[in-house]
Amino acid sequence: MMGCNGQNKTIKANNNNCNRRIVIDKSKVDKSWETLNKQYYSSIQTGNPNNCTHDHIYIDVMALEKAKLYSTWLKKYGTKVCYEETSDYIECEHLITDLKDIETLEKTVTFDTKTLDEIEKKIISLGGNFGSYSRYIKFYKDSSSKLDIKLEGPFNPNANYYSTPLIKSIKDNNNLTASTKFIFKEIGGYIYFGVEINPGQYNYYNFSHIPPITGKAVTSPI
């Protein structure tokens, strides 16, 4: 999707096809937390978590969106998320799959290239935490039109933000190495990135702002 608040929506993410549930490690919450958050529970409380060692609670992302609490809820309870079991959803929410959108991105000039190692080191130098939603990655062009990175927060639905757990999810889900290439492209004032999954083959990702099934703009801070 391009832009915000109904502006030129030419780039979309794949969220309509994602399993939109966040997995909570039940050992990290108490009964009062469960009572407070039960209204956001998914109607389906079953799955096959392999990596979390305790019982789980499945949170319905659409319930959080409906309550307009998604970003504040993540900031408050992000440390209780079973990351290993939620990482597929995190990546899926941002992965661009529309063939026309991919073609648009592939035809757009790459203005800079970074390795995963360079990106991670920059985020760490800024005090970033890859398991936190307190601050978000802001990719921008410096005075030389090269890529630079800021960390900003809290989440702003009108900004070109990416979460730090998104970078970790892409890395872990695709077995990326320190030398994996990230390419950066600008369309309509917004920066998108592609990741070289295989030699010459890129997955492209949208920033934290996506169109839902209805086509009305909805923010996705995951």
**How does pLDDT run across 56-92, given as a tens digit for each residue?**
899 999 899 899 888 899 989 988 998 888 888 889 8
Q: What's the pLDDT at 181?
A: 98
Q: How many residues does the chain have?
A: 222
Q: What's the pLDDT at 10?
A: 45
Where residue 172 falls (left for φ over 0; alpha for ψ -120 to 50; beta otherwise) is alpha
The one-letter amino acid at 5: N
Contact partners, residue 48, CB within 8 Å, separation at least 6: none
In degrees rounded to 5, what are phi and psi of residue 77? -120, 10
Q: What's the pLDDT at 153?
A: 86
Q: What percent of the chain has pLDDT over 70?
A: 83
Low-confidence ranges of the chain (pLDDT < 70): 1-16, 47-54, 208-220
Q: What's the pLDDT at 14?
A: 54
Q: What's the pLDDT at 50?
A: 58
**Is-above-0.85 flag for pTM?**
no
